[in-house]
């Protein structure tokens, strides 16, 4: 059923196939005297509705008088093709099937057209049947099959693309944020982190953390959550994390760091929003200076008590260009454990955020002697049921 590339362009066949149920392309076969002896059927479209009820595969590649032996008489296809070929003028000829093929079937065919195109004749038509509706049913069946096949192909392509994007996002996230790390013991602190990926079938989120020892001996602790899921959230996370690392080199305190990071999110990125909590710890004074951009507060575990810290002012990143971020100071003691986390660790659908935070604090005591074991136990007992990614960064003061 394929048409030769030298005959009718594929794009033209596709267009004709959309405009008509039946497309029949014939080429003249000339006798010794130069007259038209027959027509070779060069192409029929996959949805072709044959007046005799045969599938397209039985029509294409044959001669017209062989495929329709009676069509030379009267007003049949042969006669119509010869007339159109002779004068090159398009023809419009509604009428019964029998008058086109020379047969006796009188079921009507509507909107028949014949046109000459570079020594070829193109017939197009849409069919109508009698009361039993057999032809219309066959046409609908063909169209339904074609539509379903196209939908299946589109769905398969979409699913493959989604799976590839998910895998890429997951690799980026895991490369930047290993899930199970005992980061370091230095400058009088012990630091460990756990990341829990979303449940199977969920999209990768934009959770991130960072812990750096700065040139002046202070330590920077960061946990953030970029809004959204998938590759866009992960690329937003990478941009925010790297931007904050660059800003730290200026020596700015957490409140100023978040002000500049928010400016970058508003001006230099497109549609990146999220929350961040940022702390800068001085081992000499055991003071933590921290600020937040719409993020949940750190939880301080001291002895048998765990308490969420009062919230300083600070809206989420990427919303308001001139947003300011309040900075507070928290004195720490030897033996204290400070927990930074994302909301995927504590949120529950049936609980308010204050109740979920209280339950999280209660689960954080008593503190295990080993900080790594402590974060593992907290993560294992987390009651969140939202299926979101979760991150927990623990800092133990020694």
Please tell me whether residues 21 and 86 are part of one structural domain.
yes
21 has pLDDT over 80:
no
pLDDT at site 389: 78
- CATH number of the domain where residue 250 is located: 3.60.40.10
C-alpha to C-alpha distance for 280 and 251, rounded to whole angstroms = 10
Residue 345 lies inside a defined structural domain of this protein: yes
Residues 122 and 8 sit within 8 Å (Cβ to Cβ): yes
Range 291-317 average pLDDT: 96
Domain termination residue (choose one: 68, 103, 128): 128
Residue 54 lies inside a defined structural domain of this protein: yes
C-alpha to C-alpha distance for 214 and 189, rounded to whole angstroms = 14
Please tell me whether residues 190 and 111 are part of one structural domain.
no
- CATH number of the domain where residue 81 is located: 3.30.450.20
Domain count, the chain: 2
pLDDT tens digits, residue range 183-198?
556 678 999 988 876 6
310 has pLDDT over 80:
yes
Query: How far is CA 94 from each of CA 77, 111, 281, rounded to the nearest angstrom?
Result: 13, 5, 88
C-alpha to C-alpha distance for 28 and 82, rounded to whole angstroms = 8
Domain termination residue (choose one: 128, 161, 187): 128
Q: Looking at the whole model, is its pTM more than 0.85?
A: no
pLDDT at site 73: 66
pLDDT tens digits, residue range 270-282?
778 999 999 999 9
Domain termination residue (choose one: 100, 128, 156): 128
Indicate the length of the chain as a whole number: 398
For residue 46, the enclosing domain spans 10-128
pLDDT at site 2: 34
Please tell me whether residues 372 and 245 are part of one structural domain.
yes
105 has pLDDT over 60:
no
Residue 140 lies inside a defined structural domain of this protein: no
Please tell me whether residues 234 and 306 are part of one structural domain.
yes
* Top-confidence residue, 206 or 340: 340
DSSP code per residue over 24-68: EEEEEEE-TTSSEEEEEEEEE-TT---TT---GGGTTTSBHHHHS
Q: Provide the 8-state DSSP code for 126.
A: E
Residue 142 lies inside a defined structural domain of this protein: no
pLDDT tens digits, residue range 116-172?
777 788 887 765 444 344 445 444 554 555 555 555 655 666 666 666 665 665 565
Residue 139 lies inside a defined structural domain of this protein: no
Alpha helical stretches, state H, the chain: 10-19, 64-67, 77-87, 97-101, 134-176, 230-248, 254-267, 353-363, 371-381
**For 388, phi and psi rounded to 5 degrees?**
-95, 160
Q: How far is CA 361 from the centre of its chain?
A: 37
């Amino acid at each position: 059923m394929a048409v030769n590339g030298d005959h009718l362009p594929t794009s033209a066949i596709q267009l004709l196939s959309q405009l008509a149920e039946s497309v029949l392309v014939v080429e003249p076969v000339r006798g010794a005297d130069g007259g038209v002896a027959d027509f070779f059927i060069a192409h029929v479209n996959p949805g072709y509705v044959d007046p005799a009820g045969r599938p397209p595969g039985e029509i294409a590649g044959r001669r017209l008088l062989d495929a329709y032996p009676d069509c030379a008489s009267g007003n049949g296809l042969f006669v119509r093709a010869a007339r159109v070929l002779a004068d090159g003028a398009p023809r419009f000829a509604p009428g019964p099937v029998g008058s086109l093929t020379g047969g006796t079937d009188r079921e009507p065919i509507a909107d028949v057209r014949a046109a000459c195109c570079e020594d070829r004749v193109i017939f197009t038509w849409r069919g109508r049947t009698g009361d039993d509706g057999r032809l219309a049913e066959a046409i609908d069946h063909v169209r339904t099959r074609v539509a379903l096949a196209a939908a299946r192909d589109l769905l398969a392509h979409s699913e493959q693309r989604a799976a590839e994007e998910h895998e890429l996002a997951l690799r980026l996230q895991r490369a930047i944020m290993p899930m199970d790390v005992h980061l370091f013991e230095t400058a009088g602190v012990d630091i460990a982190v756990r990341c829990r990926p979303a449940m199977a079938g969920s999209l990768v989120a934009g959770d991130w953390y960072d812990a750096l020892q700065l040139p002046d001996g202070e330590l920077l602790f960061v946990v953030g959550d970029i809004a959204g899921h998938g590759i866009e959230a992960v690329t937003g996370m990478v941009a925010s994390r790297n931007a904050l690392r660059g800003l730290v080199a200026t020596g700015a305190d957490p409140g100023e760091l978040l002000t500049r990071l928010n400016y970058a999110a508003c001006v230099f990125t497109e549609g990146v929003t999220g929350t961040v909590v940022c702390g800068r710890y001085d081992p000499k004074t055991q003071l933590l200076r921290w600020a937040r951009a719409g993020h949940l507060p750190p939880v301080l575990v001291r002895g048998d008590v765990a308490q969420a810290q009062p919230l300083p002012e600070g809206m989420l990143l990427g919303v308001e260009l001139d947003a300011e971020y309040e900075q507070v100071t928290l004195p720490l003691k030897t033996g204290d454990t400070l927990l930074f986390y994302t909301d995927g660790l504590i949120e529950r659908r049936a609980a308010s955020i204050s109740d979920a935070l209280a339950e999280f604090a209660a689960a954080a005591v008593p503190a295990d002697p080993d900080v790594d074991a402590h974060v593992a136990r907290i993560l294992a007992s987390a009651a969140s049921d939202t299926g979101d990614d979760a991150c927990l960064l623990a800092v133990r003061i020694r």
